[in-house]
Amino acid sequence: MALPETIFKLLKPRRKASGSELTREAMANIPRHVAVIMDGNGRWARKRGLPRYSGHYAGAENLREFCKWCIEFGISYTTVFAFSTENWQRPQQEVDSLMKLFLEFFARYEEELAAEGVRLRFCGETGELPQSVQDTMQRAEASSLQRNKLQLIIAFNYGGRREIVKATRDLLASCKAGELKPEELTEEHLSARLYLPDVPDPDLIIRPSVELRLSNFLLWHSAYIELWFAKVLWPDFNRHHFTAAINDYASRQRRYGGLSKEERG
Ligand code: FPP
């Protein structure tokens, strides 16, 4: 594997870009929870004649930057899609490099995340991951419990349908045990059985890389989510793009199937 340092050098000039600022409207209407599909790492690497895993390393570096912007803007939660339940279909070498990157990320940046006040949480079928990854997750969660600037939720071996099936199984078990009657089931009962029931639904999903789809991410939570698509690859997604996304989010009217304030009179 090429040294990640090669990738850090490639990223350095890009990090200086800052770009436009938040509007007043945006400052008054910051989303509480922003989710990101960190897509386009492979294409980023290919454009530079690098192996695919280099794109993932560059993507992980951008995640560090992204957390800083979230803290700067006052966003409380971010959920990022780092490995899907479908990603096992990729070549073994790429899967292995993603697991290795996960371990290296925490070995390298644990102190930085602590200094920034980032609490770590994970969602997905974590019990199916290599033991070393599970141990790292448990350590990161336990050691960051008291941090309160930002909750970084890493979806790892995550699939939206798998999450709903898991919640449904739990519901059926509760019904079988006589704790719940099927005719009394509500959305709240299912929500309470998702991976992280205490985390509020994301307000905004950002997907860079040109693709216009959700790819099995946060299916239950995205019922009324706002979507933002950026025509750049995730490692190139910078503070300027993020500012534009937040400004645009703030200018939208979320009606949840009802009427706007003006229409209600
Ligand atoms: C999709 O891009 C991205 C992934 C499958 C992996 C994303 C993972 C990271 C950014 C690393 C996160 C690291 C930590 C420590 C959480 P793609 O490979 O499908 O890109 P392509 O569509 O251009 O091929």
Tokens of 96: 């292995």
Yes or no: say if 66 and 240 are a contact pair by the CB < 8 Å rule: no
In the structure, what pLDDT confidence band is assigned to residue 13 with cuts at 50, 70 and 90? low
**Contact predicate 67/38, CB 8 Å:** no
Round to whole Å and give the CA distance between 228 and 212.
9
- What CATH number does residue 233 fall under? 3.40.1180.10
Number of independent structural domains in the chain: 1
Range of the domain at 62: 30-159+203-246
Which residue out of 29, 87, 216, 247 is catalytically annotated? 87
Which residues, 6+ apart, have CB-to-CB distance to 47 below 8 Å?
233
Other CB atoms within 10 A of residue 45 CB: 22
Instruction: Please give the pLDDT value at position 258.
Output: 83
Is there a domain that residue 63 lies in?
A: yes
Alpha helices in the chain, H assignment, sequence order: 4-15, 24-27, 41-47, 52-73, 92-116, 131-144, 160-176, 187-191, 239-250, 261-264
Measuring from each residue's beta carbon to the nearest atom of ligand 1, which residues come in under 6 Å?
38-43, 56, 59-60, 63, 82, 87, 101-102, 105, 154
- The reported pTM is 0.93
Whose alpha carbon is nearest atom 2 of ligand 1?
Answer: 39
The answer to whether position 189 is within a domain reads no
Residue 133 lies in a domain: yes
Is residue 209 assigned to a domain? Answer: yes
pLDDT tens for 180-231 read 999 999 999 999 999 999 999 999 999 999 899 999 999 999 999 999 999 9
72 occurs within a structural domain: yes
175 inside domain: no
Residue 78, token pair as written in the block = 């971010």
